[in-house]
Structure 1
Amino acid sequence: MLKRLLFLFWGLFLFALGIVLTVNSNLGTAPWDVLHLGLTNYLPFTMGQVSQLTGIIVIMASWLLGVKPGWGSLANMYFIGLFIDMILAAGWIPVTHYWLAQLVMLLAGVWLIGWASYFYLSAAFGAGPRDSFMVAAVQKTGWSVWKIRTGIETSVAALGYFLGGPIGVGTLIIAFTLGPSIQWAFNIMGKRAQDIDHDSFIFQKKQAVGESTD
């Protein structure tokens, strides 16, 4: 249990650190972070607090669709937002405008998020709010994972963009490199995402997210 808790919180911290790296790279952020930053233009909250708020809403939506949140879902919702605000407040990651440094920061953030996903999913306390919502939507509609995920992330990115969130070339880079980064971390550790406990990321049919090809 202690090892699982360490994996969970280390993964959540790395997730937050990776997000801050992508945000401060100033090249554009992941779709959900586009929405979070867009909402900060209209709400008196920090980025981390907006992340927590949207996480609560997504957890409730997933529950209504039949997927109950695990402890990992709740921890993901609260602590990633908390860690984001702590890292931003500490000023550990500077905002850069030099293109090579921007690209290095962005790719480092994607790499860290890949490892973060390995650690928190391996803890087997449940997937994060957004992944749980994706699972719920797939189970409810019967559509394939890539269609649901693409629809969700396109929608939140578009909404975030109209709210003033930062979409850029980095958004596209993240879209094409995050999946391979997560898979690479699992491969390095000699595990497959589909071997992680059902509550951590996969469906009853034992289909990994990256393997649904409908």
Structure 2
Amino acid sequence: MTRPSIEISNLGPIGQLRTGRLPRRIVQLFAGLWLFGFSIALMIRGNLGVAPWDVLTTGLEHWLPLSFGQITIVVSFVVLLFWIPVGERPGIGTLANAIAIGLAVDVSLAWLPVVDGWPARVALMLGGVVLNGLAGAVYIGAQLGRGPRDGLMTGLARRTGRSLRLVRSLIELTVLALGLVLGGTAGVGTVVFALGIGPLTQFFLPWVAVRAEAPAAARQLTPCAQSD
């Protein structure tokens, strides 16, 4: 079976609202964000290493009187400040991303029990990585704007002329190193995440992305909004 092909639009906030299938896309956005937070909680409970940005969060937990989810929200808004010099514009999904994922992590951690034993921990770690790839594809595929960290990556890539792969690698290595300096914890799950998240998101995205067609006027103003 051939996977469908689809492009991600580059519309601004108004264009996103004027694009079709908005109710379905909003539901998909928040479902993806909630699953994303749940996937982070799975990896935390697996206790075998978390994503590089989450290593930074675990480091900040030693210094801030806040929960993991609350720190995630704070970091998201700090990252948004770096959008200003690189010229990125927040969308509807950007602000939702900054808040909803942190809330989902805290709620999920309150519900998920601490587990013992390697089989359960490995299952939680692998399940978290796979679910994270799916959840990322779901909320990106809603076509309602980039998350704070994704926008930092695309903005820096555009400003520097470097590839997205290189910019993402440098950003994640930087936050990983900073997290470790602050006392954060990494592990085999961190390596599995780094190697697997890109291919997983790319695999799932064509299946869940909504083909969002902008009105004719918006397409003329924003050529890259066309999906075909």
TM-score category by the smaller chain? Answer: 0.7 to 0.9
After TM superposition, the structure 1 = structure 2 runs for residues 1-214 of structure 1, keeping only pairs within 5 Å, are: 1-89=22-110, 91=111, 93-187=112-206, 189=207
Can you give the 5+ residue segments of structure 1 that lack an aligned partner in the other structure? 198-203, 207-214
Q: Equivalents in 1 of 2:208, 2:63: separation in Å?
A: 44
Root-mean-square deviation (Å): 2.0
Residue 171 (structure 1) shift: 0.6
Structure 2 match to 1:212: none
Amino acid at match of 2:83: S
Query: Residues 156 and 53 of structure 1: is their aligned pair in 2 closer, same or farther, counting only changes over 3 Å?
Result: same
Indicate the structure (1 or 2) with the bigger Cα radius of gyration. Answer: 2
Match of 1:16, SS?
helix
Query: Residues 174 and 196 of structure 1: is their aligned pair in 2 closer, same or farther, counting only changes over 3 Å?
Result: farther
Deviation track 1:61-98 (CA, whole Å, cap 9, x = no partner) reads: 01221001111111000110111111122x2x222232
Residue 196 (structure 1) shift: 7.7
Give the conservation status (yes or no) of the 8 Å contact 2:37–2:102: yes
Structure 1 match to 2:4: none
Match of 2:166, SS?
helix
Q: Equivalents in 2 of 1:131, 1:119: separation in Å?
A: 14
Give the conservation status (yes or no) of the 8 Å contact 2:138–2:209: no
Give the conservation status (yes or no) of the 8 Å contact 2:39–2:128: yes
Amino acid at match of 2:184: G
Q: Equivalents in 1 of 2:115, 2:212: separation in Å?
A: 37
Give the conservation status (yes or no) of the 8 Å contact 1:63–1:69: no
% identity of equivalent residues: 39
Structure 2 match to 1:210: none
Q: Which has the higher contact order (CA 8 A, sep 6+)?
A: 2
Match of 1:94, SS?
coil
Give the conservation status (yes or no) of the 8 Å contact 2:141–2:209: no
